[in-house]
Amino acid sequence: MISLRNVTKIYENGAEGVNNISMDIEEGEFVFVVGTSGSGKSTLIRMLMKEIEPTNGSILLNGIDITNLKANQIPYFRRQIGVVFQDFRLLKNKTVYENVAFAMQVTEASPREIRRMVPAVLAMVGLQRKAKAYPNQLSGGEQQRTALARAIINKPPILLADEPTGNLDPDNARAIMQILKDVNDMDTTVVIATHAKDIVDEMQKRVIAISKGVIMRDVEKGGYSDED
Of 54-68, 87-101, 213-227, least confident by mean pLDDT is 213-227
Instruction: Please check whether residue 228 lies inside any domain of the structure.
Output: no
What percentage of the chain has pLDDT greater than the value 90? Answer: 79
**Cα–Cα distance measured from residue 205 to residue 29, given in angstroms and rounded to the nearest whole number:** 9
- pLDDT above 80 for 36: yes
User: Does 73 share its domain with 143?
Assistant: no
User: Does 147 share its domain with 163?
Assistant: no
Is 30 within 8 Å of 86 (Cβ atoms)?
no
User: Does 95 share its domain with 51?
Assistant: no
Average pLDDT, the chain: 93
Instruction: Please check whether residue 114 lies inside any domain of the structure.
Output: yes
Decide which of 117, 133, 155 is a domain's last residue. Answer: 155
Amino acid 226: pLDDT: 61
**Cα–Cα distance measured from residue 202 to residue 211, given in angstroms and rounded to the nearest whole number:** 22
Amino acid 78: pLDDT: 86
Q: Which of 121, 149, 152, 127 is nearest to 139 (CA)?
A: 127
User: Does 65 share its domain with 169?
Assistant: yes
Q: Quick one: CA torsion of 134, 139, 144, 150, rounded to 10 degrees?
A: -20
**Cα–Cα distance measured from residue 17 to residue 216, given in angstroms and rounded to the nearest whole number:** 15
- pLDDT above 70 for 228: no
Provide the number of structural domains found in the chain. 2
Amino acid 11: pLDDT: 95
- Tell me the per-residue pLDDT of 99-120, one tens digit each, with 9 for 90 and over: 999 999 999 999 999 999 999 9
